[in-house]
Amino acid sequence: MNKFRSLIKSELFIAIFLLVAVSAIAYLPFIAHFSYFNDDWYEMFATGTRGPLVFIDIFSVDRPARALLMIPLYILFGRNPFPYNVTAYLFRLFSGLSVLWSLRMVWPQQKRLATLAALFYLIYPGFLSQPNAIDFQSHIAGLCFATFSIALSLKAVTTKNLWPRILITGLSIFFGLAYLSQMEYYAGYEVVRFVLLFILAGQTEKTFFTRLKRAVLWYLPFIVVPLLFFTWRLFFFHDVRKQTDISLQLGSLITSPRHTILVWTATLIQSMADVMVLAWFVPFDGAFSNLSAVDVFVSLGAALVAILIAWVSLRNNPSDSSSEGGWQGENLWTGLVIVAGGLIPIIMANRGVNFSDLSRYSVISMFGAVMILVVFLDRLKNFSFQLGFVLLLIGIAVITHFSNGDSYARYADSNNMFWWQVSWRIPQMKKGTTIIVHYPAGQAGEDYTIWSPADLIYYPDSQSQKFIQPAIYAALLNHDSVEKVLSHQGVDYETRRGSIHTFSNYSNILVITQSTPYSCVRVIDGNQTELSAYEDERVMLMAPYSQIQNVIPGTQFKTPPQFPFGSEPTRSWCYYYEKASYARQVEDWQTVSDLGDQAAKLGLVPQDSIEWMPFLQAYAHFGNQAQLTKLARPMKSDPFVAAQACRILTGMQLDSSTTDLVKSLYCASK
């Protein structure tokens, strides 16, 4: 019992507890709500058609070793996104613990600052793709492998016994090759390795050149890592993806060296500022500003809990002999070297840090950024002020990640609700249909985030034996698609990662829209266009070309798979609207009327008045003048919708009295 008490009171245990507790608060609150995001969609569709070995084909074009990680994970987890998010968190946590181990070796007298640097590395707010855990599994695992490899190399050079040293060196080289095999642009971590070896050499060598010589000698066994990998990458591997083809990316340096160097320098300076300073403010502002009033208080509560844990852990440990021997100056410039070294491979690939969609490019340089940060903290000699600043940064980071997780979770919930409503409305789609979708929570950036969920519901198998071919295709809701639809252009053929073939046909589209987060999903019938007053203008332009015959009636409705769409949502107004909309398509007016009566008994009403249209048509068909009169007021409150109601209802075959009532209620001018 005494040993246990001593353990939990030890400085190392408290440091580890701090990293685990604060990172859990930052990353785990919404983990059960995360679904598929971005590239996850086509990867999970492909594995469903070919099994886990399809990862070999998917990643063969740029990073073939990613398949070695994803195949066993898929065998274990299948399509369930939750365990991927758990392993992503564990990889991230172990990466932070490896940083703690490394810094405690190179800063033996600054254990408290080593703990702070590892904590800031772990919850660094500049990397925002943690919830995208399936596709980013390789990125996050690569971080873990890289930092663990570096920690092992530091341990190896300080190990006196030969065989343990050889074993640890071998493990370090193995994990070094492992991290580069996942992400080649992580090569900047070799700069981190060398810089930490240089700092470590300062414990025995006192002059710059003797330290440099010692660091070079220590690094020689580990130079195998970049030499082996890049020899294979440059001379034996054929990269067919231009974004990761090194020779293509360096082509601009040969053709226009002066301009390229100037652009690279400007991008490097901007990215360094992003990594070291703006990462603590820009993502925070973007994530926090999107929260609802309730979520703001919840995120502040989470931050306060993390701050309390940090305060209890750190308040009684103010002593670090951190300023002795030029510690601050040395770690300032070595941190800058790491920041620049981590960014240079990315800059040379003509990329830069961008917190909106390229935050992953900060993950190498953040090691140097947190070293510089703790140098700044070390200069704050007033311990209370230093602690207050630390707690402020922890609060910012926790709120950023908490808010980011909330945003991902809300997007996933919205996306799942969208496709559940589609499944309520559409029993089956024709093969070869090209769908154009308006998502309420943000427009799709790639077509596979549209066709993949549709095919997972309606056609989960490939339509070809030779390659992966979905049955339903998609086009993005953008200006280019509008032009192609309006000009009746034909098929766009596209291959993705060499094994996925799609054939988008702009002459055979089906427009599916959810105008606002509070609206229901509507399948547009080009023969009878119904548009919300909140409709996207691009949807309005393409609506007349939407072919309702791509919805196949008379078949059994599909149930979306549990992964990733979750359980069926509560059957509220939109359920009755979707079923009524389908019944109207097949001219089952009695079912439409009955559904309207059922919704009314439950007190359900739409928040978008265009959704009254199926019920209005059914009531008009049966001459239900009471209901037509009752609904006139909410319809006329929206003149744009009322005009459509007038056009559609007067176009129906109605008795004369009902026609007169419709004209008086819905067509009368102001």
Q: Could you report the per-residue pLDDT of 369-401, keeping only the tens digit for each?
A: 999 999 999 888 888 888 999 999 999 999 999
What does the pLDDT average to over 179-196?
94
Cα distance between residue 402 and residue 41, in whole Å = 24
The token pair at 324 is 């002795």
- For residue 465, count other CB atoms closer than 10 A to its CB: 6
Cα distance between residue 253 and residue 266, in whole Å = 15
Minimum mean pLDDT among 99-108, 342-351, 564-573: which range?
Answer: 342-351
Is the per-residue pLDDT at 317 higher than 90?
no
- For residue 370, count other CB atoms closer than 10 A to its CB: 24
Reported confidence tier of residue 345, pLDDT bands at 50, 70, 90? confident
Give me the pLDDT at residue 319, please: 56
pLDDT tens digits along 58-77:
999 889 999 999 999 999 99
Q: Which residues sit opposite 522 in a β-bridge?
A: 513
Is the per-residue pLDDT at 32 higher than 80?
yes
Give me the pLDDT at residue 364, please: 87
Lookup result for tokens 């940064």: 393
Question: CA torsion 600→605→608→614, rounded to 10°?
Answer: -10
For the chain, which residues make up each domain, given as ranges? 16-409, 428-553, 570-670
Cα distance between residue 517 and residue 534, in whole Å = 11
Reported confidence tier of residue 252, pLDDT bands at 50, 70, 90? low
Is the per-residue pLDDT at 325 higher than 60?
no
What is the rounded average pLDDT for all residues in the chain? 91
Mapping DSSP to helix (H, G, I), strand (E, B) and coil, where does residue 382 land? coil
What does the pLDDT average to over 416-442?
95
Q: Which residues contact 45 (CB under 8 A, 6 or more apart)?
A: 448, 452, 455, 456, 460, 468, 470
Give me the pLDDT at residue 117, please: 96
Question: If you write DSSP's letter for every residue of 37-103 in order, what string do you get?
Answer: -TTHHHHHHHHHHH-TTHHHHHHTTT-TTHHHHHHHHHHHHTT-HHHHHHHHHHHHHHHHHHHHHHH
Is the per-residue pLDDT at 670 higher than 50?
no
For residue 625, give the H/E element and its range: helix 625-636
Give me the pLDDT at residue 251, please: 55
pTM exceeding 0.85: yes
- Closest to 396 measured CA to CA, from 278, 316, 317: 278
For residue 434, give the H/E element and its range: strand 434-438
Minimum mean pLDDT among 355-369, 465-479, 647-661: which range?
Answer: 355-369
Q: What sign has the CA pseudo-torsion 449, 453, 456, 460? A: negative
